[in-house]
């Protein structure tokens, strides 16, 4: 970097502060003081010669990556790119307005935003995913820089990321911790004690560099040292919130508040002359690109009908089978790969398997980072444990990340392990995400076919698998389009339709056989696609049979039953009976628990006989006696 470029940094920082102040006043909201504290750090990073980026190609695979984990400092983020000449001042003045790319917190609507941020404590994990991608997958020399706020260091997800980065020896990951002392409602946990921050981070195996975050020579030296380190680096910078404006500096009560026009006039007077035509230079990266692996055709699905196979095992088989044809597939697991089925993939393709240990929040963040660098992550753990990472899952949709989540050990059917391990809220959780897809196969063939279907689906996909082995009921050539279902049994004499998914499909088939012996005929539907659900088929069944019985190994709120109710709502009249888990579960054998909680074949038969004739309560008793 030339001396003239170094001398230009204070002028660029003044311009960037000017934009942070004016755009927030124009918007009437925002976080100018949080932006001012980090303005010198980010000016030195982008225009100090360390950061390499093709400004005309934000998607260049060897660009350095920049993530604002403290996404509320978006005025600074946008002002930086304005100082490169890639945003006009006119566009800056659309900040936070309806339809603007410059939203209140960065999203993928803005092409220079590497990830959607703003829910604090997630940016470092996303950056970790990008750094892993550079080091282990694309084998490119780009670095990932993450701006962190001191308040968000209270988040446990930060420490998950910090320890995983050290474990993976990621010397291409650099955090910049903006220690400005003040949070939203007062002083942070450690205030301005940057040494305490450094000690904690060093304890996890990072190198730390303590600096004055407003001293350009110190900042430039820190970035130079970080680029030469042999492990992850955290630059711990002591800064002043509201830096550059006397009445804002280190002043409580200004978080998230824009200046009014009179205050802005005073602030700009203090800021001094600003060259609004000034632009900073960013050196380009080397024009390096990842090697493109050769794709090979995937092998066939091959299961014998009637064979007992756990769907979690079939999922692992599917990943291994599909990977040669889809080399962008990577698998992440939360230290339960021998239970979820991904151990099969890990053994076959260890270079594309990532052990995330028991750190589900970080696992989802890393998956988001990988997805944003062109990979398709399959993220696996017990269905129940995804609830720990719901915030990370919902945030990934705002980055437009395509990720398949696979939750095993669903429902009370897992048996003796008890309620802490039973996924009973997971369908509701994923159905709540706007454009998510929710799939629940019942056998090995449908699991393999739906795993493959997930690869062609953009956004969030949830695949629910089972602990117990279930019989293969489908032929290997059966197709399973997302949004479809399978009618397994039907006749002109059907008096009701049983709608099931996963384990309850087999209960429904057993109930069908028993009811047929008693002279009662029912339709049986495998609703393997819960979202989107096959509303047309369900409505046809409702009109033909007059009653639907949904059966699910899940709590009633947000589950299969509610999905079916919404689908058939336009049909009048129709009876919909929802069989679901309605009590707090307990340990026990899976078949006994399904019966006890009313989702077994026995329970289905009782429900059908009541629908057929409320006075006929002796049907099951007669069958038992016979």
What is the SS3 assignment for 515? helix
Q: Which residue has the tokens 């058939």?
A: 568
Q: Which residues pair with 526 in a beta bridge?
A: 486, 500
Q: Which residues pair with 498 in a beta bridge?
A: 524, 549
375/553 Cα distance (integer angstroms): 32
Burial 120-132 (b: 16+ CB within 10 A, else e): bbbbbbbbbbbbb
410 near 553, Cβ under 8 Å? yes
What is the SS3 assignment for 87? coil
What's the full length of the chain, in residues? 626
532/78 Cα distance (integer angstroms): 37
183/252 Cα distance (integer angstroms): 9
How far is the CA of 584 from the CAs of 307, 501, 502, in angstroms?
33, 21, 21
Burial 31-54 (b: 16+ CB within 10 A, else e): bbbbbbbbbbbbbbbbbbbbbbbe
Helix (H) or strand (E) holding 123: helix 123-132
329/325 Cα distance (integer angstroms): 9
DSSP codes joined into one string, 573-614:
S-EEEEE---S---SS-HHHHHHHTT-SHHHHHHHHHHHH-T
Give the active site residue among 152, 155, 360, 425. Answer: 360
Q: For 569, which DSSP code?
A: T
Q: For 532, which DSSP code?
A: S
Longest CA–CA span in the chain (Å) reads 97
416 CB neighbour count, 10 Å cutoff = 11
- 360 classed as catalytic: yes
Helix (H) or strand (E) holding 377: strand 376-382
478 near 449, Cβ under 8 Å? yes
Give the residue numbers marked as catalytic. 360
């Amino acid at each position: 970097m030339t001396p003239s470029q170094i001398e230009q940094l204070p002028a660029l920082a003044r311009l960037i502060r000017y934009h942070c102040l004016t755009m927030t006043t124009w918007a009437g909201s925002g976080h100018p003081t949080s932006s001012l504290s980090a303005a010198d750090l980010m000016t030195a990073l982008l225009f100090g010669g360390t950061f390499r980026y093709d400004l005309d190609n934000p998607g260049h695979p060897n660009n350095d990556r920049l993530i604002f984990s403290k996404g509320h400092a978006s005025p600074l983020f946008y002002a930086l790119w304005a100082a490169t000449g890639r945003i006009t001042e006119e566009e800056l003045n659309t900040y936070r307005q309806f339809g603007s790319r410059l939203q209140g917190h960065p999203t993928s609507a803005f092409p220079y935003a590497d990830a959607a941020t703003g829910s604090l404590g997630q940016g470092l994990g996303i950056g970790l995913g990008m750094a892993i991608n550079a080091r282990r997958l694309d084998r490119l020399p780009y670095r990932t820089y993450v701006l962190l706020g001191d308040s968000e260091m209270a988040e446990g997800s930060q420490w998950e990321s910090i320890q995983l980065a050290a474990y993976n020896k990621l010397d291409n990951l650099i955090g910049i911790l903006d220690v400005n002392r003040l949070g939203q409602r007062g002083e942070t946990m450690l205030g301005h004690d940057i040494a305490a921050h450094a000690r904690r981070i060093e304890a996890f195996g990072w190198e730390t560099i303590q600096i004055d975050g407003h001293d350009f020579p110190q900042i430039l030296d820190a970035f130079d040292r970080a680029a030469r380190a042999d492990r992850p680096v955290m630059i711990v910078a002591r800064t002043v919130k509201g830096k550059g404006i006397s009445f804002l500096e280190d002043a409580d009560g200004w978080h998230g508040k824009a200046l009014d026009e009179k205050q802005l006039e005073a602030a700009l007077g203090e800021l001094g002359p600003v060259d609004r035509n000034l632009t900073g230079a960013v050196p380009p990266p080397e024009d390096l690109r990842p090697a493109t692996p050769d794709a090979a055709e995937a092998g066939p699905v091959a299961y014998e009908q009637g064979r007992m196979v756990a769907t979690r095992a079939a999922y692992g088989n599917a990943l291994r089978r599909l990977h040669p044809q889809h080399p962008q597939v990577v698998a992440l697991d939360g230290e339960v790969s021998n239970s979820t089925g991904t151990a099969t993939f890990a053994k076959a393709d260890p270079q594309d398997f990532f052990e995330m240990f028991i750190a589900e929040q970080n696992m989802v963040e890393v998956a988001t980072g990988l997805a944003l660098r062109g990979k398709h992550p399959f993220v696996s753990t017990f269905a129940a444990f995804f609830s720990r990472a719901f915030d990370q899952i919902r945030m990934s949709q705002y980055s437009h990340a395509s990720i398949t989540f696979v939750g095993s050990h669903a429902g009370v059917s897992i048996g003796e392990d008890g309620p802490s391990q039973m996924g009973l809220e997971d369908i509701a959780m994923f159905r709540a995400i706007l454009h998510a897809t929710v799939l629940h196969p019942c056998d090995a063939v449908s699991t393999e076919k739906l795993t493959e279907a997930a690869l062609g689906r953009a956004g969030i996909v949830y695949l629910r698998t089972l602990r117990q082995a279930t019989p293969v009921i489908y032929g290997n050539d059966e197709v399973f389009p997302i949004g479809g279902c399978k009618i397994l049994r039907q006749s002109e004499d059907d008096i009701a339709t049983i709608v099931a998914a996963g384990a309850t499909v087999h209960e429904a088939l057993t109930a069908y056989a028993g009811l047929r012996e008693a002279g009662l005929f029912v339709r049986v539907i495998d609703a393997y696609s819960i979202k989107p659900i096959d509303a047309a088929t369900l409505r046809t069944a409702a009109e033909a049979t007059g009653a639907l019985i949904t059966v699910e190994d899940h709590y009633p709120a947000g589950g299969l039953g509610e999905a079916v109710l919404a689908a058939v709502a336009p049909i009048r009249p129709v009876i919909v009976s929802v069989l679901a888990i309605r009590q707090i579960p307990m340990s026990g054998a899976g078949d006994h628990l399904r019966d006890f909680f009313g989702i077994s074949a026995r329970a289905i038969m009782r429900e059908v006989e009541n629908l057929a004739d409320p006075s006929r309560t002796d049907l099951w008793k007669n069958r038992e006696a016979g």
